Amino acid sequence: MMKVFNILILSVLIILTNAKAQLKIVTTYPYIASITQEIVKDKAKVDFLAAGNLDPHFVVPKPSLAVKLRNADLLIINGAQLEIGWLPPLLDQANNAKIRPSASGFLDLSQYVRLIEKPENVSRAMGDVHPEGNPHFHLDPYNIPILSDAITTKLCKLEPENCSYYQENNKLFKSKWNEKLKQWNSALEKLKGTKVIEYHKLYDYFINRYGLVLSGAIEPLPGIPPTGKHLENLIEIIKTQNVKLIMQDVYHPLKPAQFLNQKTGIKYIVIPHDVGAVPEAKDIFSLFDEIVKRLTNE
């Protein structure tokens, strides 16, 4: 009896020794975590660094975020220098060679999509511009399957033994996504040609995709708060060009949009930009559900 017991104990120890630890994935933003979770399901632990209701350009590099990175096997970032102001010091604090930009445990999603608005030259006079192009590409829903494919390919390289599982989950995710695209496309069709203003150049990919017309931005230059003169110019644009609405994000002040509303009657709509930006945006699907719902009042 004791011999059988010893054999059982030895077998359990062998299994535990050979068992591979669950993959730890950290993403910079919640939308990336949501896509990744759809692919890995219970095969990996997924966490993110930046809260979805905050300005994605400016994240406080807290020690707690460095701890997340210190234990990560894979880091997935938005890229296009959106994280340039806060991620490098966190990587230095984490001191994790596995997730450095040149390592196998690093994925930059901006490398897989076509970036718009890439400036020919960059200077401080242009404001807070991104030299690689507009980094908010995830707000074109047609880019999401491209990103899920990139994530799946990276996961297959890191864990070939689970590759078929990841590929199947990605296939199911994209099938569901394509069905949602039909709904969103149909709902947004009536907005084609609508002239809009945004606070920051955040929704440009979405605006381009659905045929809205961008007539101006509340920021005179990216990252620069509006002056009284700039707002007066916007009032003239709104009146003369028949601009219908302001696409307002959750993290910039509402006062300029409210001022324009008071002066012209133009409505402003607060639109989420990431998972968690508003309570209704619980995952990547409901993020776009909420964007479409708020824009179409449906």
- CATH number of the domain that 9 lies in? 3.40.50.1980
For residues 229 and 154, state if they share a domain.
no
For residues 31 and 139, state if they share a domain.
yes
For residues 241 and 131, state if they share a domain.
no
For residues 215 and 139, state if they share a domain.
no
The pLDDT assigned to 119 comes to 86
Cα–Cα distance measured from residue 110 to residue 240, given in angstroms and rounded to the nearest whole number: 37
Cβ-Cβ contacts under 8 Å for 18 (sequence gap 6 or more): none
The pLDDT assigned to 120 comes to 78
Overall number of domains in the chain = 2
For residues 87 and 212, state if they share a domain.
no
Q: What is the pLDDT of residues 144-157, one digit of tens each?
A: 999 999 999 999 99
The pLDDT assigned to 130 comes to 74
Q: How confident is the model at residue 18 (pLDDT cuts 50, 70, 90)?
A: very low
Q: What is the pLDDT of residues 22-54, one digit of tens each?
A: 999 999 999 999 999 999 999 999 999 999 999
pLDDT higher than threshold 80 for residue 129: no
Among 124, 152, 182, which residue terminates a domain?
182
For residues 23 and 46, state if they share a domain.
yes
For residues 234 and 202, state if they share a domain.
yes
pLDDT higher than threshold 80 for residue 242: yes
For residues 116 and 162, state if they share a domain.
yes
Work out the mean pLDDT of the chain and round it to a whole number.
92
Length of the chain: 298
Domain that holds residue 25: 2-182
End-to-end CA distance of the chain: 70
Among 138, 162, 182, which residue terminates a domain?
182
The pLDDT assigned to 295 comes to 98
Beta sheet of 267-270, edge-to-edge order: 213-217, 195-198, 245-248, 267-270
Q: What is the pLDDT of residues 203-215, one digit of tens each?
A: 999 999 999 999 9
For residues 165 and 24, state if they share a domain.
yes
Q: Which range scores top for mean pLDDT: 2-11, 20-29, 165-174?
A: 165-174
For residues 118 and 255, state if they share a domain.
no
Q: How confident is the model at residue 128 (pLDDT cuts 50, 70, 90)?
A: low
φ and ψ at residue 26, rounded to 5 degrees: -120, 135
Cα–Cα distance measured from residue 120 to residue 147, given in angstroms and rounded to the nearest whole number: 26
Average pLDDT score over residue span 246-263: 98
For residues 197 and 164, state if they share a domain.
no
For residues 116 and 9, state if they share a domain.
yes
The pLDDT assigned to 20 comes to 61
Q: How confident is the model at residue 15 (pLDDT cuts 50, 70, 90)?
A: very low
pLDDT higher than threshold 50 for residue 10: no
pLDDT higher than threshold 80 for residue 236: yes
Q: What percent of the chain lies above the pLDDT cut of 70?
A: 90
The pLDDT assigned to 26 comes to 98
Among 152, 182, 212, which residue terminates a domain?
182
The pLDDT assigned to 13 comes to 37
pLDDT higher than threshold 60 for residue 14: no
